[in-house]
Amino acid sequence: MTIKILGSGCPNCQTLESNAKKAVEELGLKDVQIEHIYDINKIIEYGVMSTPAIVIDEQVKASGRIPDVEEIKSWLK
């Protein structure tokens, strides 16, 4: 499983990345890669117009907001 955080590295993006890491940890998931995409052209390729955004296995789950840990966990189950 791959989780991508899309954003410039702003505090909101960092919070989203932290929430994603916590969700993975709380579920005890193994073999999960979390990467942060900073390149605006790559972000646009996902059709994301506002950041931060989270992509799980190439599906955009949320953009322009910070999902909480529980919501991210629901996507990972």
The set of catalytic residues is: 10, 13
| Residue 12 CB contacts under 8 Å (≥ 6 apart), including other chains | 51, 52, 66
CA distance 73 to 23: 5
